[in-house]
Amino acid sequence: MAPRGLTRRDVLRNSGAALGGLAVAGALLEPGRAGASLACEGNCYPPADEAERQRYSYFQKQLPGLKYYQDRGGFLSAIYPPLEADEMRITFMGSAIPPTRKVQQMMSVFVEVGWDPVRKRAKDAFVFDCGSGVVANYGAMEIGFGRMDKIFLTHLHGDHMSDLTHIYCFGCASDRLSPLYVWGPGPSGVPDPKPPHQLYDDGTKAFCSHLREAMRWHTESFSFQPTSYTASYPTPAEIKASWGLPALPAAVSDDPWGDGYAMVPIELDWAKLGGVAYDNKETGAKITHFPVIHCRKGSVGYKLEWNGLSMIYTGDTKPERISIEQAKNGGRGVTVFIHEMVVPAEIWAMQAQHLPRPVPRGANQLWDDSVDRAIAIQDSSHTPQGAFGYLLSQVSPRPQLMVATHFPVSDDTVDCAMRSVRNHVPDVGNLGEQLTFSFDGMVISAFAGGRKVTQRRAEVLDFGTLPVPQLYGAYSVPKYHFESGLPDPYAQIDRTQEIQAGEQTYCRSGY
């Protein structure tokens, strides 16, 4: 029987049974364990106890804390807990699907590898997606913009790139006095359905180019302050060689090479399976990309390998076969597999309309529209929880830890999703054993040599301030400066109506 809101055709199209017989690259997918007896009827309605929808007990109560602050004699200040030498640390800075909610910002996964004892920071670090709101979490975890200069976008949806604006604009005001590198897919190649069937340039290079120009007022206005170091910056050819880039890097605008306002897109051929995006022989981090299926052609997932450890972040995707093959990793398996998941369409509609139960089909147009819209979004873009379970049933060997993300967590939604997953992988264990659900501030650490992957909860200061800048070397003369070479704060303003500091007005010291 079809669940409410789904036609029989929809159910067949979405079910594991329907996928079972399709071939990929000569290989057959295994039928799911649930086989023909898939329980598609909904049974995950909101609990009578509203509190269950207002907490995520697994994260908040069960995970050990990792302190991001210490008491320095009566003054609480932020710290950056060092990584172990063989640690890959994966921190969720955002974990939600739109619309926004206070406890979960949009998507961002920060991955750090190893430890550099001289610079006192990870050997290498990567931002995977940066949706709206995530910068506050980076700040709370003492991560300055200088450590966020390599950004890997899975696709150009707002919930995955909105905070790029902030990261770009305020890098120079903080400690990124060097270019911002943005990896992402090239143009989709999907023609406009209306004549003359124009091909928009909707790739990462065009995106960065427009974004940089749109930020012109901001960047000029802030350029009375230094935006680069005096030391010479490596040439594009040197960067390409040392980072193993697929192409020579180039800034999108007239910003001097090496400047903090230089934005450097590294566009990837999204259709390429296993294309190399980054391969740094010095730090040992290698990132490859693969195509996924999400909303419009051009979305990619990434695989990061370092020191025998591996992490996959699929970004947003429908259930598809390439991610399964990536997770199998040629029979070696991966350490951490991060894949999106959505709640069933009727739960999505119930949440949107604040309803405790589904409405019978045909009784309320608003409800029917709402369910239909959720199903259309699922069909174009996402992996429902049952499909997530089916995917896991196809991955062998299993990853050390599987992470569901882009998911609105609370005790009730997670419990419901675990039930759907167990239908396909009955031996998945309790929440957190093999499968966990991400949340802002979840810190996952993998270690070389087969040590168990850990999950911790970042303990941060809600009332913290900016991360301490980590600067390396002397500044260049700012663009707007006095003849002396010092910053000129007056160069771009009209002071005619200004109330200047003085004995009769106010103190320049600020008091």
The residue among 91 and 314 lying less far from Zn ion, judged by its C-beta, is 314
Please, which residue, 78 or 164, has the CB nearer to Zn ion?
Answer: 164
Measured CA to CA, the distance from residue 123 to residue 61 in angstroms comes to 32
39: left (phi over 0), alpha (psi -120 to 50) or beta: beta
* Beta carbon nearer to Zn ion, 132 or 223: 132
Neighbours of 5 (CB within 10 A): 22
Least separation in angstroms between residue 96's CB and Zn ion is 9
Residue 140, Ramachandran bin (φ over 0: left; ψ between -120 and 50: alpha; else beta): alpha
Residue 458 DSSP SS3: strand
Cα–Cα nearest to 328, from 341, 312, 317, 315: 312
Q: For residues 330 and 396, what is the distance between their CA atoms, to the nearest angstrom?
A: 10
The footprint of Zn ion (CB under 5 A) covers: 157, 159, 316
Read off the tokens for 510: 């600020």
Q: How far is the CB of 170 from Zn ion (least distance, A)?
A: 24
Nearest approach in angstroms of CB 295 to Zn ion is 6
CB of 267 or CB of 316, closer to Zn ion: 316
The smaller minimum CB distance to Zn ion, of residues 171 and 315, is found at 315
* Beta carbon nearer to Zn ion, 130 or 460: 130
| DSSP-assigned states of every residue in 219-277 | HHHGGGS--SBSSPPPPHHHHHHHHT-SS----SSSPPTT-TT-EEEEEE-TT-TTEEE
Exposure pattern of 123-138 as b/e (b: 16+ CB <10 Å)? Answer: bbbbbbbbbbbbbbbb
Which CB, 96 or 111, lies closer to Zn ion? 96
Minimum distance from residue 95 beta carbon to Zn ion (Å): 11
Report in angstroms how near the CB of residue 165 gets to Zn ion at its nearest.
17
CB of 213 to Zn ion, least distance (A): 24
CB of 106 to Zn ion, least distance (A): 7
Residue ranges of E strands in 364-408 = 401-405
Give 78's strand partners.
Answer: 69
**End-to-end distance of the chain based on CA atoms, in angstroms?**
72
The 3-state DSSP class for residue 429 equals: coil
Considering beta carbons, is residue 89 or 157 the nearer one to Zn ion? 157
CB of 287 to Zn ion, least distance (A): 20
**Which of 139, 125, 42 has its CA nearest to residue 93?**
139
Min dist CB 71 to Zn ion, Å, is 38
Closest CA to 335 of 428, 245, 400, 429: 400
Nearest residue to the partner Zn ion, using Cβ: 157
Give the single-character DSSP code of 330.
G
> What are φ and ψ of residue 374, in 5° steps?
-65, -40
3-state class (DSSP) for residue 28:
strand
CB of 156 to Zn ion, least distance (A): 9
Judged by beta carbon, residue 316 or residue 440, the one nearer Zn ion is 316
Whose Cβ is closer to Zn ion: residue 159's or residue 320's? 159
Q: Quick check: bond before 397 cis, omega within 30?
A: yes
